[in-house]
Every structure is written in C-alpha cells, then in structure tokens.
Structure 1
C-alpha cells in the first residue's frame, strides 16, 4: 500500500499504476456535481478553497450539527463519479491531482488525467463507516446554499482508504483493461 500526502504533486503520483492501493493523509475536499458546476462557472480564482494539488472526493457526507453547534460527520461514502464527467476535465485542469469516487469515468477524464498528470482513485462502496474513522477534523465548509451533500467540505484525514488507482496518469484504466474484459 502506498501513502499519499496532500497537497499532491505529479512527482508523488507519477509511479502509481492502475491497480495500486493507496491511502491519503492531509486535506481532502468533497464535491459532487453541483459544486463541480459552480467551480467551473466561477473560475479557479473564485473557488473558496485551494484546489491546486488537491484530492477531490465525489461524496455527499452525512453531517449532523451546524456552524454554531459544530459539525460532525456520521458517514461518508463515494457517490457515482460518472455524474461528474461533464465537469471533471475542467476541474482537473484547475489543478486537482487526485479524484476519488465510485465506478468508471469517461475517456475525456482519462485524457485529462494523462495530460495534467493526475489520477482517479476508486473508493469501495459500502465502507462509509470505515472511511469516516479516517476523518480527524472538518476544517471548513463552502457553498452550504447547495445543501449539505452538495457543499464542499474540507476534511483533514489520516490514512483515508483503502483506495484503488482506477485511472493512472499514463492513460491506464482498470474499467476497460483487457483483463477485465476477458
């Protein structure tokens, strides 16, 4: 198992290959389709958090509490990443180096990962309680007007995973590999 620490650079991930298992420590951001759409509409300079070298998790965490009482994450599992296909290329071009989600993503994303030196990691569905144990703190939340699941949550994590490299920075894709098709 390989360990990544955010922010991530191309040098940190260039030797990872599709099929490798990794964990992440540092900060991850949650973002689903509405947050992706707003990032693109507003542009990189107006995004309220730094996405350069970031790990973006396609997740809508289950949260209790509020800004006054404090937030607590009850569970956090991956959402279907193909919903982000229309937006992901542009988000990767803004500087995100790690995308985390569930299921496959399209060839536009595969090419963006290759061109920008980034990777797509698959989180195991059904492990929401396991993943929440890796979260040490909620550092911030942005765009709550989108709703709790659609907001961007900045999370401090330690050994978040296990995660599988599904699409590496060299164009390899577990979802359409010859081994999978046999």
Structure 2
C-alpha cells in the first residue's frame, strides 16, 4: 500500500478508504487528550453537560506535549499508551469522534465500537516525541488548562506520520498478519 495524505476533520469517505496497515500522513487539526482530560470529558457527558470541544469529525492524539523550547511551537509530543483511554473511548465515539492516535493495541470493545461508529485508530512512533513535534505548526490550549500538559490542546499539523492500526472493517495490525510500514521519519 502506498502512503496516503489525509486531512482532518475526517469524513466518512476517508474513513471508508482506510485499511489496517495503511500508512498515512495527516494534515489539519488534531486535539490532544490524555487520561485526566478523558475522565473529565466523560464525566461531563454523564452529567448531561456540553463538552468544551466539538468532537464531530475530529482526531484525538493521546499526548501530553512538553513545553516549547525557544523558537519552537511545541516541545516533545510522543504518543502515550492508548489502552488507558479505553474506558472513556466509546462515549466519545458516540459524540462523533472519528479518529485516535496513540501507541499499542485497543480492547475488543473499542475495536467493535470503531466499526459501529465508523472511526479509525492510528498508531505512531513511540519514543520519538521530538521528531514528531516537527510536524506541529501551531499549538494552543482549548480546555482544562489546569491539567498542564494533559490539557486539551489544538495542534495544527502537516504530514504527521501514522499507521492505521484498526479500521472500520475489523482490520487490526496487532491481531492479524498485515503487511505494513510506517511512513519514513523524514516524510515531514
């Protein structure tokens, strides 16, 4: 498979075209959120409150970026383990979330919900946060600023490298033999 360039927000047509093992370069808007932000989002939903961000068509990157060094937009921005977000994922998919980026496999419940809600799960390079931050063109805090690096940020990215780990057809690079290769690190 060749590397696809995709843009956020994700549309149903793009999501239908993606298959497990497909390398992608993502441009556009990513939201960041880790455990604490996910907990707050789902608690707000449980109380019937409006979320501080509109999740429809969006992609959440599971990252807590470090402070920006002088002359940079953002510090290191490497993925965290996605399974920690599994207890919070299905309610967010029900709100229109269409993609997530992290590292590691997802629970069977999340994999099934991806098919149900027509969303995808991407993985990216673990341990390469400084390199990945080079794809970030803009960054700002949108919600939960008191959480520091775990606040919800908006990142504007260009050619952010990722791999489709789980698609809407049940494809799963962690549970089947799929031929795949990440985009070259120099792609961005």
Q: Provide the TM-score with structure 2 as the length reference.
A: 0.86
- Could you list the per-position Cα deviations for residues 59-101 of structure 1 after superposition, in whole angstroms to 9, with x for gaps in the alignment? 1110248xxxxx9411100000110111111111111111100
Contact 2:105 2:174 in 1 (8 A): yes
Mapped pair 1:36 → 2:35: no
- Secondary structure of 2:158's counterpart equals strand
**In the alignment, what sits opposite 2:16?**
14
Match of 1:164 in 2: 163
RMSD (Å) for aligned C-alpha atoms: 1.9
Shift in alpha-carbon separation, 1:98–1:179, aligned structure 2, 3 A: closer
Matched with 1:121 is 122
Q: CA deviation at 1:140?
A: 3.4
> Which residue in 2 is equivalent to 1:132?
133
Q: Name stretches of at least 5 consecutive residues in structure 2 with no aligned partner.
A: 180-188
TM superposition outliers: structure 1 runs of 4+ over 6 Å: none
After superposition, the Cα gap between the structure-2 partners of 1:160 and 1:167, relative to the gap in structure 1 and judged at 3 Å, is same
Residue matched to 2:50: 46
**Could you tell which deviates more after superposition, 166-175 or 131-140?**
131-140
Q: For 2:139 and 2:49, how far apart are their aligned partners in 1?
A: 23
**8 Å contact 1:7–1:54 — kept in the other structure?**
yes
Does the CA contact (< 8 Å) of 2:21 and 2:178 recur in 1?
no
Tell me the secondary structure at the aligned position of residue 174 of structure 2: helix
1:60 is matched with: 64
> How many pairs align?
173
Instruction: Give the Cα–Cα distance (whole angstroms) in 2 for the partners of residues 169 and 17 of structure 1.
Output: 8
Task: Provide closer, same or farther for how the CA distance between residues 178 and 132 of structure 1 changes in structure 2, counting only shifts above 3 A.
Answer: closer
On the 8 A contact 2:20/2:178 being kept in 1, the answer is no
Q: Residues 28 and 156 of structure 2 are in contact (CA less than 8 Å); yes or no, is this contact kept in structure 1?
A: yes
Alpha-carbon contact 1:139-1:156 (below 8 Å) kept: no
Question: What SS class does the counterpart of residue 148 from structure 1 fall into?
Answer: helix
Distance in 2 between the 1:45 and 1:114 partners?
Answer: 26
The CA deviation at 1:148 is 1.7
1:139 Cα deviation after fit: 3.8
